[in-house]
Structure 1
Amino acid sequence: MKALILAVVLLPFAALAHKPSDSYLHLDRAGDGFTGRWDVALRDLEEVLVLDADGDGAITWSELRGRQTDVAGYALTRLKLSAEGAACPLTPASTMRVVRHSDGAYAVVDFTAVCSTAPRVLDVDYALLFDRDPQHRGIVRVGSDGAGEPLVLSATRHTAQVSLEGLSPWRPFGQMVHSGVEHIWAGVDHLLFLLALLLPSVLRRDPATGRWVPVGDFGSAMKDVVKVVSAFTLAHSLTLSAASLGWVALPSRLVESAIAASVIVAALNNVFPLMDRTRWLAAFALGLLHGFGFASVLADLELPAGSLAVTLFGFNVGVELGQLACVAVFLPVAFLLRDTRVYRRALLVGGSAVIALVACAWLWERAFGVGLSFT
């Protein structure tokens, strides 16, 4: 019964754990205004505009070309740029393009923004898709003379003010630390994976009976947690570095599917233990995958090498801070409850089984889901 209650509570998480919907917005200085390029996923546009006119599951070039005015109008009415308190009107280009990102085909909306005076500070108000998908993110780059400042806008933080004077690779560091923390707290799959790894940290397997028994002191639990967190941090840093240097790139579907699989393994290990004090290996594996996941998103912004490296570093710091905050809340409570039947049976075994079931749904969706194709 307790496991069933947990399943009901966690069931909505399956719908939230798909790969986040992202768009990529480039804004480059041009005289008294900007030239803009906005890449919006065709699958997202299909949800709101129904581009697939014949319903055959594929959006053709002729179908998209016939609706390019609607696409540009939908996107540009959800973006407001202003400078010195005055709006910078947006004018779409006469033609539309299509490009491919790691997760599929994107329509490219090119436009110009003309400000009344040469802007020193740009105000950005981004509202694309938030009414339909609260998990949507706007990955924005505001650039000038080769320098670029990346922003990650979300439903809870959809406005930004960017100073256009003295752009440097280090300026966005603090913003990306904040984004890293936000990414961890909003990432249901990562949080459940972390929970699956941390649940046994206050217990140990009794070699004689094979049962979970409480650890004797808080220091033992803390030592186990440090190994898990350190393994994730090291792995995450490795893949962020590799991505920033352009050495490795993996398909988005492969990464997201592997993350779901790792959640299943971590959760089932609590029910049918194969690893006891070597769970840091699973944390290391997810760290590698999770680093690829966000690094591939920022790579699509085509930032200068220095900006990309600083951006990834700042995001990585934020991820670790967010993770440590979760540990600081979880570990003392788990240690106090470790010797109770509720913790050992309902939370550890029952909760892990439910986490594994939810992750199986994610794996099915990510590995075998049928998405829109562009032909």
Structure 2
Amino acid sequence: MPARFIAALAVLLLLLALPVPAAAHLTPNSEIRLDLAPGAIVADIVVPQSEFGYATGLATDNRPASLAAARAYLLGHFAVVAPDGRQWRVAIDRIAFETIIGPPDLHATATLLPPPGAGDRSFRVDWRVITREVPTHFALLVIGGDLAGGTRGERELVGALTAARPVLAVDRGHAGMAGLFANSFRLGARHIAEGYDHLMFLLALLLPAPLLAAGGRWSALREPRATFRHLAMIVTAFTVGHSLTLIAAALFGAHLPAAPVEAGIALSVLISAIHAARPIFPGREPLVALGFGLVHGLAFATLIANFGLGAATRVTAILGFNLGIEAVQLLVVLGALPALLAVARWRHGPPARTALAAVIGLAAAIWLVERVAGLVIPAAALFETAIPWSFALILLVSALVLLRTVLPRAQRA
């Protein structure tokens, strides 16, 4: 019964979940992360609060007057300049003293707009925040995202801004819509391929798809045509769900904080794993896939928040990103399908399905604890190392099933 299954997961979780506090990067330097998009750049600025207060003598609280003074100081010591010497417009959208990781920081986000007629991929960053007053201080300038140019989420260090070297040049070369689409497609494909929680959710929902529930258990097999129809409905519902929130977030700004979204994804995997072992919503898997797909879409949207300000840019990037997700998702489903059907018809299928559901459920429970409590559980790394090998094993089983089906037919022919 589900209660026994949950109890077993809880015991295993207690045995494996020896938590350690999340590590923090405590180096007291500043950082400017630039996310490039056609027509604009979004800058994420982090300045250590203690260094800011020491260098400027300004208050470091969140009263309106204090934030106004901090805003004025940043605008007076930070500039972006086009190659012809004209200044870009710097608009600080948000500023606050807050704790991100480790000690508190001054955290600001700014939109950088090039002057009329100037390119948006070649410029100089002039940074004299704190370095003018404290010569030993420095700021790292990094490119956090440049889909049109090929940077897909990995941090790319430009250099260090110091008192002796307050200006750094950035030249990202030429990029067009075709490059934006191609790199967005690759980003979507890579994210779903590396997003084990998304794939585990889908796998857990597909595990019992060839089966019918009766008496609180998975029992009879579906007809082949009904199985394929049910699988298609589940995958389509998940696609529709995450596409809706992805579009809403990218085009209309709908979003939730990352922490509850990530916890919701882990919960979706856990619930689906329990369902794979013992039916808790039989026949309603497409509705569940649709509902949880909305949550997964919010996680996807965090990667494309800075796809650009223009409608054409956003539509191109969202289309490429979503098609990348769907391509990998389809490959995973088609690759796993023969193995899923074979396990459902195998005489040892029920214990095999329950064991796989237990592994998925345990991984999900660990992720949930990590994301809710902000802990790092060593066992999570073991699961994340094993998951790619598990999918490789599933694909191998599918290949063997296909060979066993095709070879006799070829010999008879």
- The two structures have a TM-score, normalised by structure 2, of 0.54
Structure 2 residue identity aligned to 1:202: P
Partner of 2:371: 366
**Could you list the per-position Cα deviations for residues 89-115 of structure 1 after superposition, in whole angstroms to 9, with x for gaps in the alignment?**
xxxxxxxx9967xx95786799xxxxx
- Larger RCO of the pair (alpha carbons < 8 Å, separation 6+): 1
Structure 1 residue identity aligned to 2:190: E
Structure 2 residue identity aligned to 1:295: A
Partner of 2:273: 267
Superposition deviation, residue 369 in structure 1:
1.5
Q: Distance in 1 between matches of 2:363 and 2:243?
A: 28
Partner of 1:329: 335
Partner of 1:244: 250
Structure 2 residue identity aligned to 1:212: S
Q: Distance in 1 between matches of 2:374 and 2:283?
A: 35
For residue 192 of structure 1, the aligned residue among 195, 200, 204 is 200
Superposition deviation, residue 203 in structure 1:
2.1
Partner of 1:215: 222
Q: Secondary structure at the match of 1:275?
A: coil
The equivalences for 1:224-373 within 5 A come to 224-300=230-306, 302-346=308-352, 348-369=353-374
Q: Distance in 2 between matches of 1:149 and 1:309?
A: 17
Q: Distance in 2 between matches of 1:242 and 1:120?
A: 26
User: Contact 2:34–2:42 at 8 Å: present in 1 too?
Assistant: yes
* Change in 2 beyond 3 A, CA 1:262/1:150: same
Q: Secondary structure at the match of 2:255?
A: coil
Superposition deviation, residue 213 in structure 1:
3.2
Superposition deviation, residue 303 in structure 1:
3.6
* Change in 2 beyond 3 A, CA 1:151/1:189: same
Q: Distance in 2 between matches of 1:232 and 1:222?
A: 16
**Could you list the per-position Cα deviations for residues 158-216 of structure 1 after superposition, in whole angstroms to 9, with x for gaps in the alignment?**
9xx96516x34x541122112111111100111111110111122222x3684433334
Q: Distance in 1 between matches of 2:34 and 2:340?
A: 43
For residue 164 of structure 1, the aligned residue among 156, 167, 174 is 174
Partner of 2:76: none
Superposition deviation, residue 234 in structure 1:
1.0
Q: Secondary structure at the match of 2:220?
A: strand
User: Contact 1:179–1:315 at 8 Å: present in 2 too?
Assistant: yes
User: Contact 1:242–1:248 at 8 Å: present in 2 too?
Assistant: yes
Structure 1 residue identity aligned to 2:35: H
Structure 1 range deviating more: 289-298 or 207-216: 207-216
**Could you list the per-position Cα deviations for residues 57-109 of structure 1 after superposition, in whole angstroms to 9, with x for gaps in the alignment?**
xxx50157889xxxxxxxxxxxxxxxxxxxxxxxxxxxxx9967xx9578679
For residue 61 of structure 1, the aligned residue among 44, 49, 71 is 49
Partner of 1:51: none
Q: Distance in 2 between matches of 1:263 and 1:236?
A: 15
Q: Secondary structure at the match of 1:297?
A: helix
Q: Secondary structure at the match of 2:241?
A: helix
Q: Distance in 2 between matches of 1:243 and 1:121?
A: 25
Identity of aligned residues (%): 30
Structure 2 residue identity aligned to 1:350: A
* Change in 2 beyond 3 A, CA 1:314/1:223: same
Q: Distance in 2 between matches of 1:355 and 1:26?
A: 35
Q: Distance in 2 between matches of 1:227 and 1:332?
A: 18
Superposition deviation, residue 320 in structure 1:
0.9
User: Contact 2:35–2:41 at 8 Å: present in 1 too?
Assistant: yes
Superposition deviation, residue 329 in structure 1:
0.6
* Change in 2 beyond 3 A, CA 1:138/1:187: farther
Partner of 1:141: 146
Q: Secondary structure at the match of 1:200?
A: coil
- Structure 2: tracts of 5 or more residues without a match: 1-7, 21-31, 56-92, 111-117, 123-141, 158-170, 377-413
User: Contact 2:180–2:317 at 8 Å: present in 1 too?
Assistant: yes
- Structure 1: tracts of 5 or more residues without a match: 16-22, 30-34, 43-59, 68-96, 111-117, 123-136, 143-147
Structure 1 vs Structure 2 CA RMSD: 4.6
Count of residues in correspondence between the two structures: 275
Is the radius of gyration larger for structure 1 or structure 2?
Answer: 2
User: Contact 1:203–1:213 at 8 Å: present in 2 too?
Assistant: yes
**Could you list the per-position Cα deviations for residues 190-247 of structure 1 after superposition, in whole angstroms to 9, with x for gaps in the alignment?**
1111110111122222x36844333342x22211110011101111221122112225
Partner of 1:152: 152
* Change in 2 beyond 3 A, CA 1:354/1:164: same
User: Contact 2:35–2:143 at 8 Å: present in 1 too?
Assistant: no
* Change in 2 beyond 3 A, CA 1:197/1:179: same
- The two structures have a TM-score, normalised by structure 1, of 0.59
* Change in 2 beyond 3 A, CA 1:182/1:27: closer
* Change in 2 beyond 3 A, CA 1:312/1:279: same
